[in-house]
């Protein structure tokens, strides 16, 4: 499988050769020495998230490839390392959770690479974890200039390509299939949500009272109304749904609020932020995913499509 990176529009000089990437990065085991274990611990403490040991191995590989600037180790593939790799590179992040957080990035998404191609500046790739305590199981991509939809890329950093940039989607990977089997509901980003459900009582999730098409149509209508009073009237079905979510929360079906909250956020309209904040943050708290609640709160407050702001937050 190969990384989905658009080809650059710039032509190489006739006799120029593309920089070669050593294709020897294969992780056969994840045994780290004491120094690397310490580095992994510092990374997890800095983000308050779990990371696979492969990220340290991958970083060592990139340092070997381009010791002068490891963040550019995959430059020939049209991407630059960022996020956790900025931290591993010794850079201070004023807010690690907002650094490289694009417009449609839910808290479960953590950017690792950004496109350097001029025609796809908002294309980025990252880990996806359903719970802050989970080791990320898949890597996904999103181009926030085009839509809120995510595309599955591969299971891990050791699955990334180093010989070609022609991407072939493999939906038969073990992690992808295992996660797909646990998805409770679809969402606008095509990834869906995963919450724990008791197999005997089925407590943990109940569906919202809208189909995906119905919800999108309603949110489109709300977002297009300029008059505040008229917009509040159009909000009535959402307010009613939020009441149902409170009932669901009382019965420990926390996934219902998560489903609606994520979709309100992914729609993208600032008019939906207040409602999204209410049900979304509450769902994360009830699910003991407090870090995600914090990320969502901070992101909504400073949500932007400006690349300067997205790629900033370097102290």
Query: pLDDT tens, 119-144?
Result: 899 999 999 999 999 999 899 999 99
Query: pLDDT tens, 286-314?
Result: 999 999 999 999 999 999 999 988 887 54
Quote the pLDDT of residue 159.
Answer: 73
Q: Which segments in the chain show pLDDT lower than 70?
A: 1-31, 161-173, 313-315
The angle that helices 290-301 and 273-286 make with each other, rounded to 10 degrees, is 170
Q: What positions carry a catalytic annotation?
A: 251
Residue whose token pair is 């699955």: 159
CB 47 within 8 A of CB 84: yes
The angle that helices 34-47 and 54-65 make with each other, rounded to 10 degrees, is 110
Q: What is the pTM of this model?
A: 0.86
Rg, C-alpha atoms of the chain: 21
Quote the pLDDT of residue 53.
Answer: 92
Quote the pLDDT of residue 82.
Answer: 95
Q: What are the residues whose beta carbons fall under 8 Å from the beta carbon of 18, sequence distance 6 or more?
A: 12, 76
Looking at residue 205, the DSSP 8-state letter turns out to be: -
In DSSP notation, 139-170 reads EEEEETTT-S--EEEESSGGG--SS-------
Q: CA 224 to CA 217: how far, in whole Å? A: 11
């Amino acid at each position: 499988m190969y990384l989905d990176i658009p080809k650059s529009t710039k032509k190489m000089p006739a006799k120029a050769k593309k920089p070669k990437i050593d294709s020897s990065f294969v992780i056969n085991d994840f045994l780290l020495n004491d120094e690397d274990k310490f580095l992994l611990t510092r990374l997890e403490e800095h983000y308050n998230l779990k990371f696979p040991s492969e990220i340290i191995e991958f970083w060592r590989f990139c340092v070997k490839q381009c010791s002068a600037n490891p963040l550019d180790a995959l430059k020939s593939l049209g991407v630059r390392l960022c996020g956790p790799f900025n931290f591993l590179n010794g850079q201070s992040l004023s807010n690690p959770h907002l650094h490289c957080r694009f417009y449609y990035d839910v808290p479960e998404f953590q950017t690792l690479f950004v496109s350097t191609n001029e025609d796809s500046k908002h294309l980025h790739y990252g880990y996806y974890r359903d719970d802050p305590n989970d080791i990320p199981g898949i890597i996904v991509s999103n181009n926030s200039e085009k839509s809120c939809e995510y595309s599955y890329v591969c299971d891990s950093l050791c699955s990334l390509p180093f010989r070609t940039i022609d991407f072939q989607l493999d939906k038969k990977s073990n992690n992808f299939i295992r996660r797909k089997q646990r998805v409770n509901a679809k969402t606008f980003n095509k990834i869906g949500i995963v919450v724990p459900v008791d197999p005997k009582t089925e407590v943990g999730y109940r569906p919202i009272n809208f189909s995906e098409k119905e919800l999108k149509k309603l949110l489109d209508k709300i977002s297009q109304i300029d008059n505040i009073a008229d917009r509040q009237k159009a909000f009535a079905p959402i307010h009613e749904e939020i009441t149902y979510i409170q009932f669901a929360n009382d019965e420990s079906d926390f996934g219902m609020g998560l489903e609606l909250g994520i979709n309100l956020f992914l729609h993208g309209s600032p008019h939906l932020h207040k409602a999204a904040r209410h049900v979304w943050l509450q769902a994360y708290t009830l699910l003991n995913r407090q870090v995600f609640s914090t990320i969502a709160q901070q992101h909504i407050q400073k949500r932007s499509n400006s690349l300067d702001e997205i790629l900033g937050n370097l102290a």
